[in-house]
């Protein structure tokens, strides 16, 4: 990749970084991606409801919030045709190249940001070089701006290569809330895919290091539980109340007492707890947002069943009711060794790659697993590729950033692997 191409990657990534948008609100991001796709030139471009199964979306914000972010993107210069296609939160895009007879290969990249206030420190490169987030309270703290940029770079590289076959790039919304992967999988766009690659930058691997087949995905379920009791005067008539916060507190305590399973790793977390209105009122409503995870999908189901029992029992113990809603979930998945080997071998030929790993564990969750499972269930292969980058601070922190040199390395490794798949 020449210096001009590398500079274009850096410029696109900085633009996306400066305008981060959270799940299902990636209006400007989608518009900017479409600009680049049209510059490259593709055979098919899908937008809006043509990208995802609308009934399979999870964790979608309400209409007022969607409209607020759409208006902000409009002010920032997003294209009207893209905003119209994405109305209702149908963000994201898919580009398709048709280059003769050969396999159908897909690349999945995610595009959403996180609700984190970005660092203002002069030691933070985006702040020092003036491409820090302009959407205060939100930032690309996990590298999805780099993922989208690499996806565009790979699209252009594959078009200019001798690749023969069909190549699809999915720019997926709503990964951070585990809300978009299932919707893309259910769209049917991947059912004819022979090989799927998904990517993630960083993951505590340095610039120049490539992980050909990331594993160790934890299946996850996120939920919201609403406890309902009866309000009463806490001083005059406490016995007339049914304390929803007390039920919630019992639930939180007992969620962390769920027995771990001998078949593998399990997790539980009560992440958000809210309830009550005043010190002298027995609280009649309280909410809990939490999650469970498992090393495999059955282990996640074990934790889910136990968590629901704990919360229902806590409500009953304190004469309250509870409504439990699954807000998002994703299965576990495995990278295919044969496809990971192609990536591993391709990386050996790429300048800038200093070390290669065949596999490493993610240790977290990712809704790319929906896409991986879908392709594998239809007879294809899939792998999750780690692209190392030197990043200050950890993922999901105010100081997260990526090393610009890793963008070109990621493009070259992935595009070379895709080129080899058509041979």
Binding residues for Mn(2+): 142, 144, 176, 200, 396
The binding site consists of 142, 144, 176, 200, 396
Q: How far apart, in whole angstroms, are the C-alpha atoms of residue 409 and residue 350?
A: 7
Q: Please list, in sequence order, all residues whose beta carbon lies within 8 angstroms of the beta carbon of residue 11, skipping any fewer than 6 positions away.
A: none
Residue 129, helix vs strand vs coil:
coil
Separation between Cα atoms, residue 387 and residue 271, nearest integer Å: 29
Cβ atoms of 116 and 135 within 8 Å: the answer is no
Cα(189)–Cα(46) distance, rounded to whole angstroms? 10
194-225 b/e (C-beta count within 10 Å ≥ 16 → b): bbbbbbbbbbebebbbbbbbbbbbbbbbbbeb
Query: Which tokens belong to 289?
Result: 């947002």
Tokens of 73: 């993107």
Do 216 and 361 touch, CB atoms closer than 8 A?
yes
Q: Are 83 and 26 in contact (CB under 8 A)?
A: no
Q: Where are the beta strands (DSSP E) in 26-122?
A: 44-47, 93-99, 104-110
E strand or H helix that includes residue 376: helix 368-377
SS3 sequence, 150-203? HHHHHHHHHHCCCCCEEEEEEEECCCCCCCCHHHHHCCCCCCCCCEEEEEEECC
């Amino acid at each position: 990749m020449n210096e001009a191409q590398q500079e274009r990657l850096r410029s696109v990534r900085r633009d996306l970084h400066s305008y981060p948008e959270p799940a299902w609100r990636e209006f400007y991001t989608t518009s900017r991606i479409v600009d680049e796709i049209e510059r490259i030139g593709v055979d098919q471009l899908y937008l809006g409801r043509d990208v995802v199964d609308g009934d399979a979306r999870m964790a979608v914000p309400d209409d007022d919030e969607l409209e607020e972010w759409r208006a902000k993107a409009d002010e920032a210069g997003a294209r009207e045709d893209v905003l119209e296609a994405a109305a209702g939160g149908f963000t994201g895009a898919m580009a398709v190249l048709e280059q003769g007879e050969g396999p159908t290969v897909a690349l999945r990249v995610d595009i959403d940001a996180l609700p984190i206030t970005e660092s203002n420190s002069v030691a933070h490169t985006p702040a020092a070089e003036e491409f820090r987030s302009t959407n205060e309270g939100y930032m690309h703290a996990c590298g999805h701006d780099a993922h989208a940029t690499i996806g565009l770079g790979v699209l252009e590289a594959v078009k200019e290569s001798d690749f023969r076959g069909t190549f699809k790039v999915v720019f997926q919304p709503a990964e951070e809330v585990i809300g978009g992967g299932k919707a893309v999988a259910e769209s049917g766009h991947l059912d004819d895919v022979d090989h799927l690659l998904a990517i993630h930058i960083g993951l505590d691997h340095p610039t120049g290091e490539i992980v050909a087949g990331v594993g160790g995905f934890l299946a996850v379920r996120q939920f919201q539980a609403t406890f309902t009791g009866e309000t009463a005067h806490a001083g005059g008539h406490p016995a007339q109340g049914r304390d929803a916060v007390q039920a919630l507190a019992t639930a939180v305590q007992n969620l962390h007492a769920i027995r771990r399973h001998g078949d593998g790793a399990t997790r539980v977390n009560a992440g958000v707890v809210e309830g009550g209105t005043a010190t002298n009122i027995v609280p009649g409503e309280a909410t809990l947002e939490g999650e469970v995870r498992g090393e495999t999908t059955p282990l996640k189901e074990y934790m889910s069943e136990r968590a629901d029992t704990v919360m229902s029992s806590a409500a009953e113990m304190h004469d309250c009711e509870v409504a439990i809603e699954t807000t998002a979930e994703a299965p576990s998945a495995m990278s295919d060794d044969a496809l990971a080997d192609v990536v591993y071998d391709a990386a050996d030929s790429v300048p800038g790659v200093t070390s290669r790993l065949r596999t490493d564990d993610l240790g977290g969750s990712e809704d790319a697993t929906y896409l991986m499972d879908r392709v594998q269930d239809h007879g294809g292969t899939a792998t999750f590729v780690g692209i190392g980058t030197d990043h200050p601070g950890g993922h999901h922190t105010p100081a997260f950033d990526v090393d610009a040199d890793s963008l070109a390395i990621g493009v070259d490794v992935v595009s070379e692997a895709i080129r080899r798949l058509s041979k």
